[in-house]
Structure formats: structure tokens, C-alpha cells
Amino acid sequence: MPEFPEMEALRQLLEEPVRAFPIERAGPAHVATLKTFDPPLSALEGRRLEGVERRGKRLLFPTDDGELVLLVHLMTAGRLRHLLAGEKGPKTPAFRLAFAGGSQLVLTEAGSKKRAGVWLLTREAADAEVAHLGPEAASIGAERLGEILARDGRRLHSLLRDQRELAGIGRAWANEILHTAKLSPYALSRDLDGEQVERLAEAIDAELFRGLELRLAGAKDTRVYRVHNRLGEPCHVCGTPIARVDYEEHTVYYCPSCQTGGRVLKDRRLSRLLR
């Protein structure tokens, strides 16, 4: 799932092109992708977008009259692209905005499961839609992060991915951040001392902005991730093979030397099979 680096890079890349021309035609939209029906998509036609905002992993496209906001959540497999006039697009996009002059914004989704979503909302409803999100993870700072960590005793990997606590980090960047911070994914948030909180805050910024820079340069996953999806490969800091713990929905990658004092964490899936 795209996280802060991917979504912020996309926001910056789309900012200029989406406001260059008014919207000529909004839709079609896949029935599972469009989550709202009032106002209708046609309400966008003839209006101009002001640009792109990002909140956590969501992109918001406000109209320049301040009345409407198109909200997009790509989930795991959604992909949003701007196509120039004449550029060949997908035959059946999950969603499309056609601009005067011929350029388009198209959302596609790989696979049969349609999980990505598009909402057309009033400004007030859009604000309400993102109101549950915690503060932006990027540039959170040690003081604010310390307050969030102290609220309850959560495993760090799980807390970092909780959008209500911090917005913008998912499973991939949680792996990268915790590795850079030299903290165990299973350390309890409340157990961190001041120096560790400081290190975690610095690692959040170092990793998220490293990722943003690489994504803006068009880098693919294999160049961007140093820990995530690298089972058995040498840790880029100490050379120890990267280990992982599997869950149903996600996988935690970590370096046993850098992060867990040499301990190899139990693979939950394996231990369940053996039980």
C-alpha cells in the first residue's frame, strides 16, 4: 500500500497538471470504486480543481470554488495517473476525470478485488471524512511523538501503522523506520526512554523523506526499500541476514543484530502450524 513517500510524491506530481484545465467529464466510475452518489459526479463538470492536498495516505482534490472535494484512497492496488492529451489510457479505468484540452486523471486497480475508493464530498464532509486521522507522521518531532507513545503500551510496529495515532506510515515504512531507529518492532511504546523516542522521531523523518526523494525520482520498490521484502539478504548496516515474522495481513521485517539484540522473533504462522 502506498504510504507517505508514495502519496506525497504523487501529490506533488499531480498538483500542476490537475489544475491546468477545467473538468470536462467526470466518470465513468466502477460501481465498487465510487463510494458516494450525492453530489453526483456530474457536479464536477465545468469546475476547476485547485490542486491536490494529502492527508495521511489519502489525496484530496478540492475545486477552486471551495465547494467540492474529490477524495481518493488507493488502498493496496490502486494506481492514479495523469495522462496527457492523446496519451493512451486504460480501456476500463476504475475512475476517470477528463479535462478540457484532452488530458485525463485515471484510476486503475490491479486484480479483481476493488478496494480503492473515490468519494465526491462537500468541503465539510471531506474534512469530517479525515477527522479520525492522527497528526501527520512526517515532521512529527520527538515531543509530540513521545506523547503518542506514552498514551498506551502498544507494540511499536502496530502503533506506527495505526492511522488514528499517526497518519502516513504503513507496513513497509514501519519496517524501514524501526530498522533505522534500531528498535524492535515488538518493543512496547511506553517502555521507550527519551533517547529512544528522539531516535524514533529522527528515523521517521529520515526514512519518510528519503523515500519521498527516491519516489519523486521514479525509484521502484527494490531501490527504495532496504529492509522491507528483503528476507535473508544482508542488513545494509551490519550484514546480518534480515529476518521476518509473518501475519495474515502483513509481514514484519527486521535485523536481529541491529534491532532485537540478536534474538530471532517467533514466526507466528510457523508456530501455529507446528502446534
Q: How far is the CB of 211 from Zn ion (least distance, A)?
A: 19
Query: Which one of residues 235, 243, 245, 252 is an interface residue with Zn ion (CB under 5 A)?
Result: 235
174, 211 in Cβ contact below 8 A? no
The pair phi, psi for residue 71, each rounded to 5°, is -110, 135
Query: How far apart are CB 225 and Zn ion at their closest, in Å?
Result: 15
Q: Is 264 in the site for Zn ion (CB under 5 A)?
A: no
By CB under 5 A, the residues from 239 to 258 that bind Zn ion are 240, 255, 257-258
Q: Which stretch binds Zn ion (CB under 5 A): 144-152, 166-174, 210-218, 232-240?
A: 232-240
Could you tell me the smallest distance in angstroms from the CB atom of residue 254 to Zn ion? Answer: 9
For Zn ion, which residue of 238, 264, 269, 271 counts as binding (CB under 5 A)? 238
Residue 242 sits at φ, ψ, to 5 deg, of -65, 135
Binding of residue 181 to Zn ion (CB under 5 A):
no
Q: Nearest CA to 67 among 89, 84, 48, 85?
A: 48
Residue number, 133 or 237, with CB nearest to Zn ion: 237
Sheet holding 95-99, edge to edge: 23-29, 95-99, 104-109, 78-83
Any contact of residue 106 with Zn ion (CB under 5 A)? Answer: no
Q: Which is closer to Zn ion, CB of 54 or CB of 226?
A: 226
CA nearest to 105, candidates 34, 27, 45:
27
DSSP 132-200: T---BSTT--HHHHHHHHHHS--BHHHHHH-TTTSBS--HHHHHHHHHHTT--TTSBGGG--HHHHHHH
Residues 173, 47: Cα–Cα separation, whole Å = 36
Residue 47 CA to residue 63 CA, distance in Å, equals 7
Q: Binding to Zn ion by residue 182, rule CB under 5 A?
A: no
In this chain, which stretch among 44-52, 77-85, 109-117, 227-235 interacts with Zn ion, using CB under 5 A?
227-235
Q: Closer to Zn ion at the Cβ: 240 or 251?
A: 240
**Binder of Zn ion out of 1, 206, 237, 265 (CB under 5 A):** 237
Cα distance between residue 57 and residue 55, in whole Å: 6
> Least CB distance from residue 240 to Zn ion, whole Å?
5
Kindly state the smallest distance separating residue 232's Cβ from Zn ion, in Å.
Answer: 13
Return the half-sphere exposure (C-beta side, CA atoms, 13 A cut-off) of residue 131: 7
Site residues, Zn ion (CB under 5 A): 235, 237-238, 240, 255, 257-258
